[in-house]
Amino acid sequence: MFDLQDKVAVVTGGGSGIGAAIAAVFARQGARTAIVDVSESTGTVDAIRAAGGSAVAVPCDVSRPDAVERAFRAVEDQWGRVDILVNNAGIAHVGTIAETSPDDLDRLYAVNVRGVFLCSKAAVAIMLRQGGGVILNMASIASLVGVADRFAYSMTKGAVLTMTMSVAIDYVKRGIRCNCICPARVETPFVEGYLRANYPGREAEMRQTLASYQPIGRMCRPEEVAYLALYLCSDEAAFVTGQAYPIDGGVLVA
């Protein structure tokens, strides 16, 4: 089950955290995996290759149309197709609307919304030529419920949710599925960096605060998101499109 043998998967933001976990799981299931990241992401690629998988690093700023065009052309030139796109690249911001500047809003929009748009547009063009494919977007629990002090981030993830539904309905008859995952807090290097920068000396205390937001009592692990992504991008999920899947440790039912 969940065999991705000979499929070509593009994972944006695959250099670390959730993206790296998804890329590793996909490669382990047989996918040829392109790690698209603003940095070269050789660490993820080296780890996949060391485990016997197939991967390449494709440096790309997903907010730039020319860079996205070059990246997808490079993947298609190398492997001839794109079967799966995971739009995982994203950035965060902490603050209410009063604490969010126009520059903050534009910065998040450029990566979290424009980036998903540009990469999806490039992938759809390829998938239509080859007869189908799968797009999986990384939304957030913040696209489904209110999260305090996350105005700009929530706005962008709400856009990801509705883009997911639009792509799903527009291409359901043409062999392209599109879903999104909505995680609660995930224990990633980004979170650790955030704690060090904002709560020096109080990291353990604040890590527990973040963990306790989920009724299950901990943050999600990146590989747990990756296993859900594997299902949604596999042929076992062939009947699933236009859906948002929370992975939230009980936030929505608390």
Lookup: tokens for 244: 């948002």
Q: Alpha-carbon distance 90 to 78, whole Å? A: 26
- Give φ, ψ of 134 to 5 degrees: -130, 135
Active site residue 194: no
Lookup: tokens for 95: 């603050």
In this structure, are strands 84-87 and 54-59 parallel, antiparallel, or unpaired?
unpaired
Q: Which residues pair with 245 in a beta bridge?
A: 181
Which residues, 6 or more positions from 48, have their beta carbon under 8 angstroms from its beta carbon?
A: 23, 24, 27, 33, 54, 55
> Which listed residue (109, 153, 171, 213) is catalytic?
153
Residue 38, SS3 per DSSP: coil
What residues are annotated to the active site? 153
